[in-house]
Structure 1
Amino acid sequence: MSQRGGGGRQVRWASGTRNSRGGAASPYIRHRPYPPGPGNRLTPNEEFAMCALLAGEPHEDHYRSIEPDWSSDEEGDDPYQRALDPRTTANPDDPPLAPGTRNRTTVGVEFEFLLAVSPGVLGGPDPHPEDGRALAQRLARYPSGSGAFDVSVRNMIVDTLRRNGIVAVKSEEGGFMPDPAFDGVNWWDNLEAADPQDDPNAAVLDGWAAHAQRIPGMSPDDTVATAAGMLAASFRQFHDDHGLGMYDTRDGTIERIAQTKIPQFLHGFNDSERAATCAQFETLSKRTVVDEVMKHQREIEDEVDPIAVALPGIDPAYLHWTCITDASVSTDEALPQVYSFAEGMTSESMEDAYKWFNGELRSPPLDYNNPTTRVALRNACAGLRDVYRIHKPMKQVGTGLHVHFGQEAGWTLLHLKKFATLWVLLEQSLETLHRWDRSHETRYCRPIRSESPLAHALLQGTGSPVLSNLRTRDPHLSRYYNAILEQHLPLSIDVDFLSSFLTDFATEIWQFDTITGLARALSGREIYGHVRFRVSGASRSNAPEQGPGSLTQTLEVRIMQGTLDADHIWRWISIVERMLIWSRDTPAAEYRAGLEDMLRGRRQPLTVLGIPRDDITWFSLHRHHRTGYFEYPDRGRVDWRQPFMSPGHGDTYDWPSRKTPTTIRRRNRPGDESDSDWEML
């Protein structure tokens, strides 16, 4: 199978049927040794600084302040070299945690989705009446993408999630917020909820009763104002007495009560006074609802999910679930020809079938090891799928699934180097756990080994500002890092399968002496790689930044296609979490041995990394038998007769629970596009 940016064979994750040559595939890496450089002696000042370093005083600033004396080429014992002996020197890239510091691994999930909101035209037919999940009706009169449409759908979703036990909030934010003066809707409004049937208070409010007697001699205007004010006050008090939030009462309910109940409460009023009192009651009550809604939304806007992990310095906006629009999700390419069983449909009729909401649901950072985290993800997925028609995963709608991994105590440079090395070596195999298009056909998810700034810089050669300048800026530290690399990566194994480019890539990772430099080389702020290193700092990551486009001090893993299958999502999260923890906690010798075993095919990642066998089995059962990549049962051509995810939190296709190896097993056939790297367990 051809590789972009590196060549070589995939690393198999699980042992299986042996090939005809016997044994498993045995990929290797090639080592290009960098020149060791002159063995320069330290000046007295440099030697003093390094002795201070070994005594445990601050480390990285010493490296940056030392100016080596290049006047001596005398060979012999090198005190600097001895001071940076990796066998005796504490690694400056791995500062210890303060005593008692917790270091939970956090996951924050971004679910991109496409939701069918309403029929494409006002009063139009339901294209899939057998689906059973309701469509909005009032929103059909608003253009898709308008402020009124988007904020209403966003608020519908938030309300649905809250009813499902998810701490989701509405917020006043830029981008798609409506202009009340133009759209006639506020950021907390839901125009579809004007339907009294959607009012949770409606049934109880039917029991409200009041009495207003006309006072003789009072002018008509005063009569109307007095009666309307008294009735509006009684209406509000009824809410309080019965534990009803007036912010939940819909305009439609108020209109109905004003038309049907208020006339019954008025005694001694003439027709004109009765009509005016009803109208004024309606105005006063709606105004009170607006005030209560604003007050309520302000109160819950900063609500914190009790299972969210409040990372140091985190923006409070990330401590609850939110929903926004996502411009990368679109129906522009969802044409009739990409569906199956769409005979008779045209581009125009497909476009007119529904009005769509291109959304993104965001979770707060959650503790991976907290059992309620997985429950919350399931509740969120089921909350949406049980109520709304969410389009099945399909390349043409552009949905992705992004997971932000965090470390409560911050990332260390050593942890990031070890994880980045592991990811790059396994990246091609990791790609096959997802749809083929995620690594080949989207600009929002590109392979690090071929499309990162570091990959392009290595192809350009020396002189690129992306490459580390440590070899010339501090050759002693550069040699130390090479020695540390030798402890972690088996550079001396034979050359057969992995190209020198990939070896050079891994070698270059270990030449960065700051997290900021490494992150810029692997991601940058504008590169959408399989993993975006949204981190900064020296040897330990900084506190999270705040504001749009900020560095969240997370690793954003973007390679998975969009889905609301919580179990599928959790399997993928579990694999990456094992990679992160293995990289963080494994000593150098064990890390090196694990990489060598995986590269030589002695042990599979399943065993080395401690990945649950059930997860690998599940992915193996959902791979295309020819390409080797993950595939849904419709093979990318969604059936237009039912294009939506099934209700629930699990399988979006309601696949049969039993599959036979003869129909699922990955088999070698003439013309297969990949080696048999993933076989049945």
Structure 2
Amino acid sequence: MTKRPGEQYRIDPHPREKRWISRKLESHAINRRDDDDLETIYFVRYATRRLVRLLLRNNVPAHEGNTWTSFEDISESDFTDDETPNWKNVLRRFTVNAKYDANRTHYQNGSIGFRFVGEFCRFCEAHDIDIIKLKAEDIDLVRERVEECLYDWPNNFHRDQLTANFEFKLAQSCEDRRSLDKTALATTIDPLHVPIKGLNPNYTAWSVVEDVSVNGNGMVPGRYLIPTFNQSKRPMRDYHWFGAEVISPPMSLHDKEAFEAIRKACTAIRGSLRCHKPMESSTGLHVHLGHKHGWNLLQIKRFVTLWALAEPILIHLHRKDRGSARMAKWCGKISEGTCLGQALSHRDPNIRYRQSGCLPRSTPAERDRSKASMAEHFDISTVEKSIREFISNVWHYTSISDLTDALAGGEDDENDYIRPAIRIRIRGDKKSDEPNENNPATIEVRTMHGTLDADHILQWVIVLEKLLALSRNAPNALINGTVKLMMGALNRTNDKVHQLLLGLQLPPRTVHYFMSEVNRTGNAALGEDWWVYPDRDVVDWLDPFMAPGHKSTHGQKYDIV
């Protein structure tokens, strides 16, 4: 929470909310505008580790990156069940026993002390207490408790032999436990991850990083319903919000356990943390599509063509802001926001000239072959001229690398880099090169808004899986027939979204999910319908957090069945 000037103790803005809120951080002078500020670094480090631990405790294999600055007390947290136990009360229930024998050697007494450490560790485990929470002064208390249990030993020297070895061994065990914990945070591997050559080690398990673009800047007071008795002037400033990017490892589209892992991760985060309901401002979900056998140039051309044709309608599966001018920088249309798109049709002739270097440089014979190849797969004669010209040029490229460069982000009005809705991260000639950290041989889809609704995420993945299957495996006749059905939707004046989903021959459940009246708004007859949340993008400040679970973020009554 954010402590206001003059406040000694910050009152919880939502006292009835039982999910976690950090009291440790409220005293920190966090300057979110200064990324080099130590308090800010501590805040980011603390929040990131908290999320990783949360995933781990819910059996979601997660680990941290290895680029963090170390803080002495970062392993401490103020989750209720992670608070340091009251060791004086705990130790009243712990007892050990050993008969006194004056003939024992120092080694034998020390061995008994070591055995007592094992008994203490088992005692802690039975009471759900982790010895990682033991500090030096706590170890002294445990030693004193052992001394109390040996009150009937007449020789203090022998008792000291035992307790000194007990203290040494317990301190060593605690340190070993911390080392194991630190190793686990850095080296956990998710058995569901797909082992890919060149995969960044950070992506072998779930991970969490800060996303500075998730800042809530667009969430002004007018975006909230604030009751008169709760005089919050800027809700986004009542807390130190942490904009997190939760990253899954690469998983198989055909693995049911992978789908369940996404549900489990969403449930873990929403069930324990105060997650702001989906914001219309600046949050996005990115899906990376790849294959263990890599890509060839034809497959990429097919995918890009399908996307260019369907994108004007596909974006309506998501929130209205994803198609706004403001979001063009973050998920721009590939026919407009890429270097190729700008070279062909940007309104500014200077930008068209600057981007013209990316245009395909194929010979007349190569162009004839590419036209014939495209005609075997797609009939785009009825497509809007600008889209038709864009797709035709896509098919003229003779190498993957040249096509990838042409589909990189162009420049916006402020000469800043645009992130297209799909980002081709593949290099090669006719066949993709081996993946590496910079070019993982994937197509990144950035269209969907951010959410922790696992059902919504997985239904979107099903749509992308269909496009992927058509691009990679479909015979020419099938892809041509599918495109004709899609074109029927594109050429309609109403009900475009529904018809496109039917044209893609998606499962009925997926069609029903996206077309449910619960989450659609706007005039479908005019092609102006979008995904919308039940609050219609005005968040009730009395209930601003996502509901627990993995389904609808606004509660069970809005689940789509």
Confirm or deny a common fold (TM above 0.5): yes
1:160 pairs with one of 54, 58, 61: 54
SS of the residue corresponding to residue 635 of structure 1 reads coil
How far does residue 133 in structure 1 lie from its aligned partner after superposition?
A: 1.3
Give 1:488's aligned residue: 377
**Compared CA separation, residues 394 and 279, structure 1 to 2 (3 A):** farther
SS of the residue corresponding to residue 286 of structure 2 reads strand
How far does residue 170 in structure 1 lie from its aligned partner after superposition?
A: 2.7
Contact 2:114-2:169 at 8 Å conserved across structures = no
Deviation per CA, 1:282-314, whole angstroms, max 9, x where unpaired? 999667534532344325633321111112332
Does residue 470 (structure 1) correspond to residue 361 (structure 2)? The answer is: yes
Does residue 582 (structure 1) correspond to residue 473 (structure 2)? The answer is: no
Give 2:448's aligned residue: 560
Deviation per CA, 1:484-508, whole angstroms, max 9, x where unpaired? 1121221445xxxx43111000101
Contact 1:118-1:356 at 8 Å conserved across structures = no
The amino acid across from 1:421 in the alignment is T
Does residue 323 (structure 1) correspond to residue 212 (structure 2)? The answer is: no
How far does residue 449 in structure 1 lie from its aligned partner after superposition?
A: 1.8
- Where does 1:225-624 land on structure 2 (aligned, <5 Å)? 236-238=117-119, 248-251=130-133, 255-256=137-138, 258-259=140-141, 262=144, 265=147, 289-298=174-183, 301-343=186-228, 350=235, 352-396=237-281, 398-440=282-324, 441-442=326-327, 443-459=329-345, 464-471=355-362, 474-493=363-382, 498-524=383-409, 526-546=417-437, 550-601=438-489, 604-621=499-516, 622-624=519-521
Contact 2:263-2:454 at 8 Å conserved across structures = yes
SS of the residue corresponding to residue 551 of structure 1 reads coil
**Compared CA separation, residues 510 and 341, structure 1 to 2 (3 A):** same
SS of the residue corresponding to residue 16 of structure 2 reads helix
Unaligned runs of 5+ in 1: 1-116, 214-226, 660-681
The amino acid across from 1:366 in the alignment is M
Contact 1:606-1:613 at 8 Å conserved across structures = no
Deviation per CA, 1:454-482, whole angstroms, max 9, x where unpaired? 110112567844434333xx332222111
**Compared CA separation, residues 579 and 376, structure 1 to 2 (3 A):** same
SS of the residue corresponding to residue 246 of structure 2 reads strand
The amino acid across from 1:537 in the alignment is G
Deviation per CA, 1:599-648, whole angstroms, max 9, x where unpaired? 13599443443311221222122221344111111111111111100000
Contact 1:391-1:643 at 8 Å conserved across structures = yes
SS of the residue corresponding to residue 324 of structure 1 reads strand
Instruction: State how far apart, in whole Å, the 2-side matches of 1:206 and 1:368 are.
Output: 53
Contact 1:201-1:248 at 8 Å conserved across structures = no
SS of the residue corresponding to residue 561 of structure 1 reads coil
Please provide the CA RMSD for this pair. Answer: 4.1
SS of the residue corresponding to residue 389 of structure 1 reads coil
**Which protein has the bigger helix share?**
2
Q: TM-score, normalised by structure 1?
A: 0.66
How far does residue 327 in structure 1 lie from its aligned partner after superposition?
A: 0.7
Give 2:23's aligned residue: 137
**Compared CA separation, residues 206 and 311, structure 1 to 2 (3 A):** farther
**Compared CA separation, residues 554 and 232, structure 1 to 2 (3 A):** farther
SS of the residue corresponding to residue 151 of structure 1 reads helix
**Compared CA separation, residues 535 and 304, structure 1 to 2 (3 A):** same
Contact 1:210-1:231 at 8 Å conserved across structures = no
Give 1:216's aligned residue: none
The amino acid across from 2:21 in the alignment is L
The amino acid across from 1:625 in the alignment is G
Instruction: State how far apart, in whole Å, the 2-side matches of 1:609 and 1:206 are.
Output: 67
Instruction: State how far apart, in whole Å, the 2-side matches of 1:377 and 1:345 are.
Output: 36
**Compared CA separation, residues 206 and 589, structure 1 to 2 (3 A):** farther
Instruction: State how far apart, in whole Å, the 1-side matches of 2:476 and 2:486 are.
Output: 15
SS of the residue corresponding to residue 423 of structure 2 reads strand
The structure, 1 or 2, with the larger RCO (C-alpha pairs under 8 Å, 6+ apart) is 1
Contact 1:330-1:358 at 8 Å conserved across structures = yes
How far does residue 195 in structure 1 lie from its aligned partner after superposition?
A: 7.3
Does residue 641 (structure 1) correspond to residue 542 (structure 2)? The answer is: yes
**Compared CA separation, residues 153 and 205, structure 1 to 2 (3 A):** farther
2:42 pairs with one of 148, 169, 175: 148
**Compared CA separation, residues 239 and 560, structure 1 to 2 (3 A):** farther
Instruction: State how far apart, in whole Å, the 2-side matches of 1:568 and 1:492 are.
Output: 34
Deviation per CA, 1:37-89, whole angstroms, max 9, x where unpaired? xxxxxxxxxxxxxxxxxxxxxxxxxxxxxxxxxxxxxxxxxxxxxxxxxxxxx
Q: How many corresponding residue pairs?
A: 512
Instruction: State how far apart, in whole Å, the 1-side matches of 2:98 and 2:65 are.
Output: 40
Contact 1:202-1:253 at 8 Å conserved across structures = no
Larger CA Rg, structure 1 vs 2: 1
Deviation per CA, 1:355-401, whole angstroms, max 9, x where unpaired? 222111111111111111111110000011111111000123x2211
Q: TM-score, normalised by structure 2?
A: 0.79
Instruction: State how far apart, in whole Å, the 2-side matches of 1:357 and 1:284 are.
Output: 40
The amino acid across from 2:548 in the alignment is P
**Compared CA separation, residues 463 and 512, structure 1 to 2 (3 A):** farther
How far does residue 201 in structure 1 lie from its aligned partner after superposition?
A: 11
